[in-house]
Structure 1
Amino acid sequence: MYRPMIVILTLFLAAGCAAVNPQSETDSSAILPIEIQAALKPGQGAFAPDQFYLTAAASRAGYDKILLDPLLYYAPLEQMRLVSSGDRQILLNNFYILLNQELAKDFTIVRYPQPGAARVQFALLPVTRDAVALDTVSTALRDADESAVVRDLLASPLLKGRAYIVEAEWTDSLSGAVLGATVDRHFGRKTIDVAQIRNWADVNLLLQDYAALVRYRLCRFRDARNCIEPPEAMR
Structure 2
Amino acid sequence: MHRFSSILFILVVTLLAACSPTKQARSVDTSGFLGPIYPLMHKGEDGEALLLYKNPKVATIPRGTYKKMLLDHVQVWGPPTTDPDRQARAQKIADLLYTLAYDSMSQDYEMASEPGPGVLHAQVAITRADPAYVVLRAVSTIPAPMNAFAVASMLKNIGTGKPLFVGDASLELKLSDSQTGEVLAASADRRVGNKRLDADSFDSWDDVHKALAYWVEKARYRLCQERHAQNCVPPKG
User: TM-score if structure 2 supplies the norm length?
Assistant: 0.61
1:158 maps to a residue whose letter is: P
User: Given that residues 30 and 188 in structure 2 are in contact (C-alpha distance below 8 angstroms), is that contact kept between their aligned partners in structure 1?
Assistant: no
- Residue 44 of structure 1 is matched in structure 2 by 45
Q: Match of 1:122?
A: 124
Tell me by how many angstroms 1:168 deviates.
0.8
Question: What amino acid is aligned across from residue 88 of structure 2 in structure 1?
Answer: G
Letter in 1 for 2:58: A
SS at match of 1:228: coil
Amino acid at match of 1:66: M
One-letter amino acid of the structure 2 residue matched with residue 214 of structure 1: A
Max Rg structure: 2
* C-alpha deviation, 1:27, in angstroms: 2.6
- What's the CA shift for 1:107? 1.4
Does the CA contact (< 8 Å) of 1:69 and 1:121 recur in 2?
Answer: yes
SS at match of 1:184: strand
Aligned equivalents of 1:122, 1:177: Cα separation in 2: 16
Aligned counterparts of 1:32 and 1:207: Cα–Cα separation in 2:
19
If the length of structure 1 is used for normalisation, what is the TM-score? 0.62
Cα 1:224–1:193 shift into 2, 3 Å: same
Deviations 1:58-94, CA, capped at 9 Å, x for gaps: 34433121110110111213x5648533322221111
Residue 104 of structure 2, aligned match among 89, 92, 102: 102
Q: Sort the Cα spacing of 1:223 and 1:180 in 2 relative to 1 into closer, same or farther, 3 A.
A: closer
Classify 1:119/1:193 alpha carbon distance in 2 versus 1 (closer, same or farther; 3 Å). same
How far did 1:211 drift?
A: 1.1
Residue number in structure 2 paired with 1:74: 77
Structure 1: distance between partners of 2:58 and 2:69: 15
Two-structure CA RMSD over aligned residues (Å): 2.9
Asked if 1:181 corresponds to 2:186, the answer is yes
Letter of the 1:108 counterpart: E
Q: SS in structure 2 opposite 1:75? A: coil
1:226 corresponds, among 224, 227, 231, to 231
Q: Which structure has more helix as a fraction of its residues?
A: 2
Instruction: Report percent identity of matched pairs.
Output: 26
Match of 2:215 in 1: 210
Say if 2:64 is the partner of 1:91: no
Counterpart of 1:90 in structure 2: which amino acid? K
Alignment length, in residue pairs?
Answer: 171
Determine the C-alpha separation between the residues in 1 that align with 2:207 and 2:37.
33
| Offset of residue 197 of structure 1 | 6.7
- List alignment gaps of at least 5 residues for structure 1: 1-25, 128-156
Unaligned stretches of 5+ residues in structure 2: 1-27, 134-164
**1:109-148 correspondence runs (5 A):** 109-126=111-128
Partner of 1:198: 203
- Please say if residues 168 and 208 of structure 2, whose CA atoms lie closer than 8 Å, have aligned partners that are also in contact: no
What does the per-residue CA deviation read over 1:17-55, in whole Å, with 9 as the maximum and x for residues that have no partner? xxxxxxxxx83324121x421221122243x21121123
Provide the C-alpha distance between the structure 2 equivalents of 1:203 and 1:168, rounded to a whole number of angstroms: 17
Question: Secondary structure of 1:84's partner?
Answer: helix
